[in-house]
Amino acid sequence: MLPERQKAILGRAREVGRVAVEDLAERFGVSSQTIRKDLNELCDRRYLTRVHGGATLSSSVENVGYDARRMIAHAEKAAIGRAAAGLIPDRASLFINIGTTTEAVAEALLQRSGLMVITNNITVATMMRPYPSLQVIIAGGVVRSSDGGVVGEAAVDFIRQFKVDYAIIGISAIDLDGALLDFDYREVKVAQAIAENARRVVLVADATKFERTAPVRMGHLSQVDVFVTDRCPHEEVRRLCAEHDVELIEALPEASPAALPEAV
């Protein structure tokens, strides 16, 4: 049995996906050291996983809920969205796949002109539909109830009908060896088809994706042309980008590890 505060911490993590030491200390009116002890115990029991400044839900086989993912690194995703949108010229064609970070890119593209956007993300299609200067095409297939993503073989076949200028791809986790990982093999199949049918592939992922893992391999960092993140704290990843001629764009490079809250 967990103490009541630890139960509440675990409940909060389930709501938002990631919890921070300072936020929890303020919420529960205790010291940061007390919260670190709670998090350490929850991590030792494998309920949570340690990350810089806090902890995340501990699961390598099940993704955090959609609403929680939208809250994680919200400001960072917005900055990534603006940086990635800056790579897309007017009157271009592009794929946008499933993900809260790719949705941030879509939001940053709303005032653009003459774009053809093909997506398997119902949220992206709904967001862009009211804008007459944007042509939106949505893939057919099975609609995933958790987040409105369209997946399955029908979506893959649909995507393969196109050859576009850009692909905007999100991912659930990035290993330091460059592996790009996700949770749903059906989503991975669609993402692979999107990458294979674009002239330029842009990966968008915030720095928390380095702290996570997932069981299904989508591809490798070397297979993308541009990697847009808020910051890249890992020299191994920087080296991979340099070795494979992947353009690395940091939307918030000033957010260095030293500037972040103290780690657990």
* Residue 201 reports pLDDT greater than 60: yes
Mean pLDDT across the chain, nearest whole number? 89
Question: What number is the average pLDDT over the span 14-30?
Answer: 88
| pLDDT, mean of residues 178-199 | 95
Give CATH for domain 73-255: 3.40.50.1360
For residue 176, pLDDT beyond 70: yes
Does position 27 have pLDDT exceeding 90, yes or no? yes
260/208 Cα distance (integer angstroms) = 13
Give the three-class secondary structure for 121.
strand
Q: What is the mean pLDDT of residues 29-54?
A: 89
Whether residue 68 contacts residue 15, with contact meaning beta carbons closer than 8 Å, is answered with: yes
CB atoms within 10 A of CB 80: 28
Mean pLDDT computed over 237-264: 75
The DSSP code for 209 is: G
Domain(s) of CATH 1.10.10.10: residues in the chain:
4-58
Q: Spelled out in words, what is the top-level CATH class assigned to the domain 4-58?
A: mainly alpha
Q: What is the largest CA-CA distance in the chain?
A: 58
Domain limits, CATH 3.40.50.1360, in the chain? 73-255
Specify the length of the chain in residues.
Answer: 264
